[in-house]
Amino acid sequence: MIISDSIERDFGLRVTLNSVSPEKLRSLDKSNYEDNPLNSRNQSPKSVGIFELEIDSETDMLYAITGESMVSIFGTQITGRDALVICPEVTLDTLSDILFEALERFKMKLPENFEWVDNISKIKDPDVALLLDMELDERLSVDQYLDHFWLGEPEIVDWEYQSGYSFDQHYKAAIHPTLEIKELARHLQTNSQEKICTKALKKQQIFIVHEEHHSNKSWSAYRCLYAEITYGSEQYILRNGIWYRVNQDFVKRIDNYLSELTQYQYTLPTYNHEREDEYNNYVVANDPNYVLFDKKTIGLGGKNDKIEFCDILRNSRDLIHVKYYRSSSTLSHLFSQGCVAAEAFVSDKEFRKRLNKKLPEEMKLADIDIRPESKKFCVVYAIAVNREIPKKLPFFSKVTLKNAFRTLRALDFEVNLARIEVDAVLACKKKHRKNK
């Protein structure tokens, strides 16, 4: 019977964070925004520290937490999400004291051990989300602002079995090899006589078109829109149909860290291919300094089965991982691929044994038992995009890049970033379904 819009979201969570011992926790609920929003719960049969419950302070959002109460009036255990759950000894005379204590702790600044919780928060209030949609509509109405927004897949897709996207299922509908926001705006204007706005984006479907030119999956265009806007003194991000508020200090820390990244010294050819494997083959075919490793996977079993050492290798030193920017999810996959391959190379003898069979003669390892000197190798993240990188990457992509950079640097690899120029014609290419 409670009106949902009247609920103070995260009330219980904030009271709990200001009342619990960070070293005496039992359970937490979290959501990861690094790839697709993934909700999970970690719990322990005994009291443990916050990070023993496996939460990443930069890529996870904390939704709920349970632990030992440090506030006697709340009892011995406390749980918080939107609601606050406590089991104290209480009478009508002492109830008001408990409620006032909870209210005071809600207003308190989070303790140092939990300050990171405010880095990124999901907007739960529908009125705030509606206000942000209205603010976004104002920007979408101005053509020059379209260059500031991204349109991409809200989840990882298999490009081996699809040929592009269409904005309707008519058999004569154009098939776009990439998702471009200006193409979608033109489609809405031509076919629906609507200007691009959040209402139109929520109605409009984007269909995945397979090699046989049929479609069995779609998303709303609103889910495919990635937007970053500043409203008042706060920065907000729309991703996968969800609005987030981002702490400005967190933004600055990420940008400062990425400013240390070195740009790759070699210029890679312009990207004008529909598929990444076609581009990789083109690079190798036109320059003898490159060796193709794309799809030469090494299976080890477990979660890191079928590892790609890299996509292309230059001069037996530069391990280049190539990705055409489609969404922050695709970049998360790219950055993860580089870390997993590099770590396996230096730490896993079985990986080196299987890799050695695929390496060119001049790079074969003389002794697979000896750990390679990682400082002799450079991991290169090559991103095909017509924007300044890393500065103009989506914020969530910056976070995952920062974490990959930190991991590789700890392993003593050199890390470079390369921007591949994208042929302007690629965005305008269209195909059509075959005649039935």
CA angle 296, 321, 164 (to 5 degrees): 85
Say how far residue 10 (Cα) sits from the centre of its chain: 23
pLDDT: which is higher, 193 or 224: 224
H helix runs in 48-145, sequence order: 92-107, 126-140
Residues 6+ apart with CB under 8 A from 244: 33, 120, 121, 122, 123, 236, 237, 238
Q: Does pLDDT of 277 surpass 70? A: yes
Q: What's the pLDDT at 436? A: 46
How confident is the prediction for the chain on average, in pLDDT?
87
Q: How confident is the model at residue 25 (pLDDT cuts 50, 70, 90)?
A: very high
Measure the CA–CA gap between 116 and 93, rounded to whole angstroms: 37
CB 165 within 8 A of CB 209: yes
Residues 6+ apart with CB under 8 A from 430: 174, 175, 176
Q: Does pLDDT of 401 surpass 90? A: yes
Measure the CA–CA gap between 293 and 281, rounded to whole angstroms: 10
DSSP letters of 173-241? -EEBSS--HHHHHHHIIIII-----HHHHHH-EEEEEETTS----EEEHHHHEEEEEEETTEEEEEETT
Residue 304: both structure tokens together? 């890191």
Measure the CA–CA gap between 33 and 59, rounded to whole angstroms: 6
CB 279 within 8 A of CB 384: yes
Q: What's the pLDDT at 428? A: 63
Residues 6+ apart with CB under 8 A from 208: 157, 162, 165, 215, 216, 217, 218
* Predicted TM-score (pTM) above 0.85: no
Crossing angle of helices 328-347 and 395-410, rounded to 10°: 10
pLDDT: which is higher, 192 or 373: 373
97 SS3 class: helix
DSSP letters of 23-39? EEEEEEEEEE-SSS-EE
Q: What's the pLDDT at 394? A: 85
Among the listed residues 208, 218, 224, 217, the one whose alpha carbon sits nearest the alpha carbon of residue 163: 208
pLDDT: which is higher, 30 or 148: 30
- Percent of the chain whose predicted confidence (pLDDT) is above 70: 91
Q: What's the pLDDT at 38? A: 65
Model confidence pLDDT, tens digit, residues 133-187 = 999 999 898 876 777 788 887 776 666 667 788 888 877 778 887 788 888 888 8
Q: What's the pLDDT at 312? A: 95
Residues 6+ apart with CB under 8 A from 233: 248
Residue pointed to by tokens 């974490």:
403
134 SS3 class: helix
Q: What's the pLDDT at 210? A: 77
Model confidence pLDDT, tens digit, residues 210-267 = 766 667 788 899 988 989 898 888 889 998 888 999 988 898 999 999 999 999 999 9
Which range of 45-54, 97-106, 170-179, 201-210 scores highest in mean pLDDT? It is: 97-106
Per DSSP bridges, beta strands 162-166 and 205-210 are antiparallel
Per DSSP bridges, beta strands 290-292 and 312-314 are antiparallel
Q: Does pLDDT of 94 surpass 50? A: yes
Q: What's the pLDDT at 242? A: 86
Model confidence pLDDT, tens digit, residues 100-134 = 999 999 999 999 889 889 888 888 888 899 999 99
